[in-house]
C-alpha cells in the first residue's frame, strides 16, 4: 500500500512462471485509505501490461489479524486460501519470506521473487512516509490519486507564467501552458463563441492529458479552466459571446486543482496583443478572488511583488497542499 512497481513486477514474474494463470489476493483493511482505488489501479496496470486474460484479482476487504504471532493467525490464512480454491497443485509466489509459511500450511510449493529487493527496491513504508520522494515507485495508474495539481491564477500581466515556470522547475513538476495563448496566436486572434469554445476544449484536453504524460508528483498550471470561466463571465464580453456555458463550469469543477496560487496586480502591466483591455487589466484581483470563493477553490494569495519571495511562498503553499493529500497514507498497518 499503495500499489507499487514492485507489486506489478511480482505479478509479471508469477505470470511468466505459472502455466495456468495467476490468482492475486489483495487484502485491504476497512479503515485503510484508498481501498477500492488501489484495486482499480492495479487492475488497470494488469490490463496495460497485457496480463488481463491470465491474472485474476480477488479483493478481500474484511478486517483480519495482522500479527503473525497471534493465536490462529496461520490457520486463518490456510482457511482463507482453501476457500479461495487453492490446491496442492498450486504454487505460492511472494516477495516476502512469509510466502514459505503459506506454502507449508497449504501443501503447495513456494517460489520467492526478489526477496532482497535487488531488482526493484520499492517498499511500502518509505513510500507512505514520503510519497513525493518515491513517486516513481508507485504504479502510474495510482499516481493521479496522490499527484498534487497547482494552478497559478489571477489577472493578466501579474507574473503567472514566470512564477508557474519557476515553481514547476523547483518542484521537478510537469508544467502546463495556458492553452488560449498558442491557440489565439496560431489561429485567429479574436474572441468569438467559436474561439472560446475551442479554448475550452483545448484547455480541458490539456489538463486531462497531463495525468497521462506526467510522472511527477506535481503538476503546475499557468491558469486552468476556471480562467476560461472567468473570462467568459466578464460582463463586457457577454454581448459578444453570451453566457458562460454550464458544460464549461462542470468541466472546470471536475478538473479543479488542489491549490490556486493567486498573484496580485502589484507589478507593472505589460501590453500584449492577446490582452484585450488596452493599457489596463480587464479583471481586478477581487474579481478572480471572488471566482475562487464562488466555486469553493482552495487558494492562497501572494501579497509580495518580489519574485524570489513569491517563489518561496508558492513553494511553501505547494508542499502544504501535497501534505494534505499525502497524510492519508501516513498509516502504520502494524500499529492499528
Residue 109 CA neighbour count, 13 Å, CB half:
7
- What pLDDT digit, counting tens, does each position of 71-112 carry? 999 999 999 999 999 999 999 999 999 999 999 999 999 999
pLDDT score of 226 more than 50: yes
Exposure pattern of 273-309 as b/e (b: 16+ CB <10 Å)? Answer: eebebeeebbbebeebbebbeeeebebbbbeeeeeee
Domain coordinates of the chain in residue numbers? 5-123, 147-328
Question: pLDDT per residue over 242-275, tens digit each?
Answer: 999 999 999 999 999 999 999 998 876 665 555 4
Residue 76 has a pLDDT of: 92
Q: Position of cell 500581466?
A: 157
User: CA 73 from chain center: how many Å?
Assistant: 36
CA 87 to chain centre: 40
- Topology agreement, domain 5-123 and domain 147-328: yes
- Distance between CA atoms of residues 201 and 33, nearest Å: 33
Cell of 129: 512516509
Across the chain, what does the average pLDDT equal? 89
**Contact, 60 vs 24, CB < 8 A?**
no
Summarised one tens digit per residue, pLDDT across range 146-182 is 899 999 998 888 889 999 999 999 999 999 999 988 9
The single residue listed with the C-alpha cell 476544449 is 201
Domain 147-328 has CATH 1.10.443.10: no
Pick the CATH number of 5-123 from 3.40.50.300, 1.10.3720.10, 3.40.50.620, 1.10.645.10: 3.40.50.620
Rounded CA-CA distance 98/103 in Å is: 9
Interatomic CA distance for residues 56 and 23, integer angstroms: 5
> What per-residue confidence (pLDDT) applies to 275?
47
Amino acid at each position: 500500500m499503495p500499489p507499487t512497481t514492485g507489486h506489478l513486477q511480482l505479478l509479471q514474474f508469477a505470470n511468466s512462471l505459472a502455466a495456468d494463470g495467476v490468482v492475486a489476493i489483495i487484502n485491504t483493511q476497512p479503515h485503510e485509505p484508498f481501498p477500492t482505488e488501489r484495486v482499480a489501479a492495479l487492475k488497470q496496470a494488469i490490463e496495460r501490461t497485457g496480463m488481463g486474460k491470465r491474472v485474476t484479482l480477488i479483493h478481500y476487504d474484511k478486517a483480519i489479524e495482522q500479527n503473525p504471532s497471534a493465536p490462529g493467525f496461520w490457520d486463518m490464512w490456510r482457511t482463507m486460501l482453501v476457500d479461495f480454491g487453492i490446491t496442492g497443485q498450486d504454487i505460492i509466489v511472494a516477495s516476502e519470506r512469509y510466502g514459505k509459511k503459506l506454502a507449508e500450511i497449504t501443501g503447495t510449493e513456494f517460489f520467492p521473487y526478489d526477496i532482497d529487493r535487488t531488482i526493484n527496491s520499492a517498499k511500502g513504508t518509505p513510500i507512505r512516509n514520503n510519497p513525493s520522494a518515491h513517486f516513481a515507485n508507485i504504479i502510474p495508474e495510482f499516481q493521479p490519486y496522490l499527484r498534487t495539481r497547482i494552478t497559478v491564477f489571477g489577472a493578466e500581466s501579474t507574473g503567472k507564467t514566470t512564477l508557474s515556470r519557476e515553481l514547476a522547475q523547483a518542484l521537478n513538476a510537469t508544467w502546463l501552458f495556458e492553452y488560449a495563448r498558442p491557440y489565439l496566436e496560431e489561429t485567429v486572434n479574436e474572441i468569438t463563441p467559436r474561439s472560446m469554445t475551442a479554448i475550452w476544449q483545448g484547455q480541458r484536453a490539456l489538463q486531462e492529458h497531463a495525468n497521462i504524460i506526467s510522472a511527477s508528483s506535481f503538476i503546475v498550471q499557468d491558469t486552468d479552466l476556471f480562467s476560461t470561466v472567468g473570462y467568459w463571465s466578464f460582463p463586457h464580453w457577454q454581448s459578444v459571446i453570451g453566457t458562460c456555458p454550464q458544460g464549461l463550469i462542470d468541466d472546470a469543477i471536475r478538473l479543479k486543482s488542489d491549490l490556486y496560487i493567486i498573484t496580485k496586480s502589484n507589478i507593472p502591466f505589460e501590453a500584449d496583443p492577446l490582452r484585450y483591455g488596452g493599457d489596463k487589466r480587464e479583471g481586478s484581483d477581487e474579481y478572480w478572488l471572488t471566482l475562487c470563493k464562488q466555486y469553493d477553490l482552495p487558494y492562497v494569495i501572494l501579497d509580495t511583488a518580489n519574485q524570489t519571495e513569491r517563489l518561496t511562498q508558492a513553494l511553501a503553499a505547494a508542499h502544504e497542499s501535497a501534505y494534505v493529500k499525502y497524510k492519508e497514507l501516513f498509516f502504520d498497518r502494524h500499529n492499528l
